[in-house]
């Protein structure tokens, strides 16, 4: 018994030392392109020790590369500097400059950004694609937004439903935000922030025609908060003409985004529906011999587990009408078509995708039968 215990202990220790344990490891994020656009994974709300985060900017770059992101922004608080006694920095562009240096020639785009941090009802907002964070430090909040607009920044409202600002947990569209929208100084809104999805924020996005975003708002380590728990961080998928800063900026202003948090997808139908269509490949469609039961093999090429409900007039053989296809995995449907057909239109409701509060899209694929 002692010999067996010693052997098992040795094996476990070797696995730990050689990195062969799988805990806390996820494949890089992967989502398919849609017609006319490249699908880019971004996280536009992150913090480091240059405001109230707990890591150096280089760590944020390394995390993003490891997770397969295409672009990030380090959006340090302008007005909130809890580490200033230990890390004094008169230049509020410093975190960005360190990240750019670390990311050089590594395929990760660094977007210059900053967080304008004020008390409610003004709240917190991120300005990304800025040229100088120092110039945003204005006494009046309205002047900070005006300066961001002069720098051609894309500005979005952070965590509108955050209970520290809105005790009821629902966003309040104040006169300040309404004025910013009217002046072209507020262009987007987070519908997913950290672990929270707010339907009310999605309602505001649709009512005010604001770009939909999902962000991690990470302060600690991505590894601790997400990956070791088996999750990817929340991200914004941006549908850009090419992988470049200019194309991402253009796409954000145009509202070409989908917010994603693992299996949850939030977006306007013109972008979410084609994305879901591209997430599935049909690798086989043929009848089981001497039957009218059609075997359809579906491959999920995305990093999200996808949950569907049958919306066809046909029922399934040996399967629930609700089924899940794991990220990077396959699922076989056996469809009772009652008679053999030369083609069939799959109609599936995406149960963890939303184009509006409580509105889930039905995705259709017309496929030939072998």
Dihedral angle, C-alpha 217, 222, 224, 226, nearest 10 °: 80
Mean pLDDT of the chain: 93
pLDDT tens digits for range 312-352: 999 999 889 999 999 999 999 999 999 999 999 999 999 99
Specify whether the CB–CB gap between 282 and 365 falls below 8 A: yes
pLDDT tens digits for range 177-223: 999 999 999 999 999 999 999 999 999 999 999 999 999 999 999 99
DSSP letter at 211 equals: E
Determine how β-strand 280-287 pairs with β-strand 235-240.
Answer: unpaired
Which residues does 313 contact at the CB level (< 8 Å), separation at least 6?
none
pLDDT tens digits for range 239-279: 999 999 999 999 999 999 999 999 999 999 999 999 999 99
Specify whether the CB–CB gap between 323 and 331 falls below 8 A: yes
Q: How far apart are the first and last CA of the chain?
A: 58
Confidence (pLDDT) at 91: 94
DSSP letter at 34 equals: B
Specify whether the CB–CB gap between 299 and 25 falls below 8 A: no
Q: What percentage of the chain carries pLDDT values higher than 70?
A: 94
Confidence class for position 164, pLDDT limits 50, 70, 90: confident
Cis before residue 121, ω within 30 degrees of 0? yes
Q: Nearest-CA neighbor of 266 among 161, 353, 156?
A: 353
Q: H-helix or E-strand containing 215? A: strand 211-215
- Based on its alpha-carbon atoms, the radius of gyration of the chain, rounded to whole angstroms, reads 23
Q: Which residue has the tokens 């110039």?
A: 135
User: Both tokens of residue 124?
Assistant: 């917190």
d(CA 283, CA 88): 57
- Please determine, for residue 147, whether its predicted confidence score (pLDDT) is greater than 70: yes
CB atoms within 10 A of CB 239: 25
Determine how β-strand 322-325 pairs with β-strand 211-215.
Answer: unpaired
3-state secondary structure of 182: helix
CA separation (Å) from 171 to 107, 189, 248, 355?
36, 11, 27, 19
Q: What percentage of the chain carries pLDDT values higher than 90?
A: 86
Which residues does 79 contact at the CB level (< 8 Å), separation at least 6?
116, 117, 118, 137
Domain with CATH 3.20.20.140 in the chain: 21-262
Burial label, 132 (beta-carbon count in 10 A; 0-12, 13-18, 19+): middle
3-state secondary structure of 19: coil
Domain 280-368: which topology? Immunoglobulin-like (2.60.40)
**CA–CA–CA angle 155, 157, 163 (5° rounding):** 160
Domain with CATH 2.60.40 in the chain: 280-368
Specify whether the CB–CB gap between 185 and 149 falls below 8 A: yes
Specify the CATH number for 21-262; select among 3.40.50.1370, 2.40.30.130, 3.20.20.140, 3.20.20.10: 3.20.20.140
Confidence (pLDDT) at 19: 37
Confidence class for position 103, pLDDT limits 50, 70, 90: very high
Phi-psi region of 329 (alpha: psi -120 to 50; beta: other; left: phi over 0): beta
Confidence (pLDDT) at 24: 56
**What global pTM score does this model have?**
0.92
pLDDT tens digits for range 279-292: 999 999 999 999 99
Burial label, 54 (beta-carbon count in 10 A; 0-12, 13-18, 19+): middle
């Amino acid at each position: 018994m002692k010999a067996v215990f010693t052997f098992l202990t040795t094996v476990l220790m070797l696995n730990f030392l050689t990195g062969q344990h799988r805990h806390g490891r996820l494949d890089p994020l992967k989502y398919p392109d849609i017609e006319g656009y490249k699908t880019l994974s971004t996280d536009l709300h992150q913090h480091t020790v240059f405001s109230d985060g707990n890591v150096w900017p280089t760590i944020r770059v390394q995390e993003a590369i490891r997770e397969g992101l295409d672009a990030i922004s380090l959006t340090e608080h302008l007005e909130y500097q809890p580490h200033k006694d230990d890390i004094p920095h008169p230049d509020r562009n410093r975190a960005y400059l360190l990240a750019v240096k670390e990311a050089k020639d590594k395929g990760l785009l660094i977007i210059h950004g900053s967080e304008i941090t004020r008390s409610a009802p003004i709240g917190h907002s991120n300005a990304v694609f800025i040229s100088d964070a120092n110039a945003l430090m204005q006494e009046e909040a309205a002047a900070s937004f005006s300066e961001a607009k002069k720098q051609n920044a894309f500005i979005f409202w952070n965590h509108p439903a955050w209970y520290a600002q809105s005790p009821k947990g629902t966003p309040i569209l104040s006169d300040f935000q309404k004025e910013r929208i009217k002046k072209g100084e507020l262009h987007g809104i987070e519908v997913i922030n950290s672990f929270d999805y707010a339907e009310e924020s999605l309602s505001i996005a649709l009512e005010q025609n604001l770009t939909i975003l999902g962000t991690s708002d990470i302060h600690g380590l991505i590894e601790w908060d997400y990956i070791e728990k088996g999750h990817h961080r929340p991200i914004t998928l941006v549908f850009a003409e090419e992988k470049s800063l200019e194309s991402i900026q253009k796409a954000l202003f145009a509202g070409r985004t989908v917010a994603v948090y693992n299996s949850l997808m939030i977006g306007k139908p013109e972008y979410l529906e084609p994305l879901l269509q591209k997430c599935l490949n049909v690798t086989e469609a043929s009848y089981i011999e001497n039957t009218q039961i059609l075997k359809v093999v579906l491959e999920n090429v995305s990093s999200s587990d996808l949950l569907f409900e049958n919306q066809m007039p046909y029922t399934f053989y040996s399967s629930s009408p609700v089924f899940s296809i794991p990220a990077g995995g396959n699922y076989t449907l056996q469809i009772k078509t009652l008679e053999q057909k030369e083609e069939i239109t799959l109609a599936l409701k995406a149960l963890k995708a939303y184009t509006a509060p409580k509105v889930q899209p039905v995705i259709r694929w017309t496929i030939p039968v072998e």
